[in-house]
Structure 1
Amino acid sequence: MNKQFLLGDNEVANFIVNGFHLIEPDLPDKLNESIASQLDILDYNPGDGITDVVPDLTKIIENNYVRGAIISLLGNEFELQKHRHWHCKLPESKHMNWHQDGINNRDTIITRFLALYYPREVTADMGPTIIVPGTQFRNAPTDRMAHYANIRGQIPLTVKAGTVALTHYDLWHGTAANTSNKKRHMIKFLLRRTKPNNKPSWNHNPKNIGKSTDWNSRATAEDPHNILSFSNPLHVSQTDHYKEREIRQKNWNYLIGNF
């Protein structure tokens, strides 16, 4: 993989902190619209077979920018798993409650995540996916989360056509209601690591590891050490922040092969 397509230290650190990374790959407009048009006329959900029904979807994961970001976070021998799903948010459909995918057994190191592909532009009235950065290490039963309303720091994924969002598997998410007259399409792919790194799989600069703690620039940290130390997307208390920093550092050490 050409290094120009790999993530840098700060992008990896921000993924560890926030649990997501957005990619706007150089996909042809005709490809995005062709995929969206094929989804428009589907009258059933093929589940894991969505890529058999719409084969062009495989080109999304094969894109250099998408593949480079995945390699950066999961290593060169990552696996695209068989599970994938087409989410179609129909006009006038209601919101989806907050939840975490899978069972209540959360990962504290990065071994898997989702790639969410949006073939058309998503506007605020189309029922966008909503994520809560920084929640990926917080285990919460879905029946309790279902009672939550707006959460401070939540972000609607109002994105350009062709955007791919890499999201930590355990990131809290839901959707807004679709009040538009358009279908909102999203294809979910599941990816996982097959072996631990023995060295960084992204554009890593060893000099960044030795940066000193900068207490005067906590909100504008521009190196991985200070991003991991000071970023606080949930505005949690000092006690919680200490715990988060320990998990973040564990993730960073794991990814650079120091575990």
Structure 2
Amino acid sequence: MDKSHLLTDMEMVGFLVNGYHLLELDLPEGLNERIAGRLDELDHNPGDAIAEEVPELWQAVEHPAVKGALVSLLGEDYEVQGHRHWHCKQPHTGHMSWHQDSTNSRDTRIDRLLGLFYPTDITPEMGPTIIVPGTQFRNAPTDRMATYTNIHGQVPMVVKAGTFALTHYDLWHGTAANRTSLKRHMIKFLFRRVRDNRAPTWNHDPEAMDVPTAWGGKRDDPKNVLSFGNPIGVGQSDHYKERQIRWKCWNNLLGVADATDR
């Protein structure tokens, strides 16, 4: 694989802190429009067979930037799982409540990712997916989450056509209402780690963490972002717990799971 498509230390740390990574793919001219047109013509939801109905989707899944990010996060022999789904947000439909796609156990491993592909531009009025950065390590009962409204720091996926979003499987997400006369298309894919890392699988600088800790200050380097990044401004106690989980995830990705947390 061309190593230029692998993630950097800062991008890896950004994923551990925020729980997502966005890729704007340089797909062949007209491909996004063909995919969107095929989706518009479907008269049923084929479920797991969506990529058989619209095989052009594989050009997004197999794009070098997507493969490079997946190798970085899940290892060189990651698996594209069989489950996938076309989420079509119909015109003039309401929001989807906050939820997680899995039972959150504050796992210290990065084992499963969601891949969300958007073949059209998504505006704020089209019912974008909304995520809450950093919530991949937070557990909450689904019935309680469903009562929440806007959350401080939430991010609507207002993206360009051809965007592929990789998110932690446990990241909190929902959708806004679609207030337009257009369908909002998103195709979800699942990816799984096959085996634990024995070494970094991204563009890792072995000296990236050999910098002073910026206690009480801010510095834009991997070590200090991993330690002090706080995307939604959680309280000190929660932040300390999440920081420990991030460092355990980092050590697992390095292939040194028994290393002392920073």
TM above 0.5, yes or no, is: yes
Which residue matches 2:72? 72
Which residue matches 1:107? 107
Matched, 1:230 2:253: no
Correspondences of 1:43-122 after superposition (within 5 Å): 43-122=43-122
Equivalent residue letter for 1:237:
G
Output the CA distance in 2 between the equivalents of 1:8 and 1:249: 17
Correspondences of 1:1-259 after superposition (within 5 Å): 1-215=1-215, 217-218=217-218, 221-259=219-257
Q: What displacement does 1:210 show? A: 1.1
Output the CA distance in 1 between the equivalents of 2:136 and 2:101: 11
Q: What displacement does 1:108 show? A: 3.0
Output the CA distance in 1 between the equivalents of 2:193 and 2:171: 17
Output the CA distance in 2 between the equivalents of 1:180 and 1:26: 27
Q: What displacement does 1:71 show? A: 0.6
Equivalent residue letter for 1:96:
M
Percent identity, aligned pairs only?
A: 60
Equivalent pair of 2:7/2:69 in contact (CA under 8 Å): yes
- Aligned-CA RMSD value: 1.0
Equivalent pair of 1:107/1:170 in contact (CA under 8 Å): no
Equivalent residue letter for 1:180:
T
Equivalent pair of 2:104/2:170 in contact (CA under 8 Å): no
Is the alpha carbon distance of 1:230 and 1:104 closer, same or farther for their aligned partners in structure 2, counting shifts above 3 Å?
A: closer
Output the CA distance in 2 between the equivalents of 1:125 and 1:33: 20
The alignment partner of 2:101 has SS state of coil
Equivalent pair of 2:85/2:189 in contact (CA under 8 Å): yes
Q: What displacement does 1:201 show? A: 0.5
Q: What displacement does 1:43 show? A: 0.7
Q: What displacement does 1:104 show? A: 4.8
Equivalent pair of 1:197/1:254 in contact (CA under 8 Å): yes
Q: Specify every segment of 5 or more residues in structure 1 that has no aligned partner in the other structure, as ranges.
A: none
Greater mean deviation of Cα atoms: 55-64 or 118-127: 55-64
Give the number of aligned pairs: 257
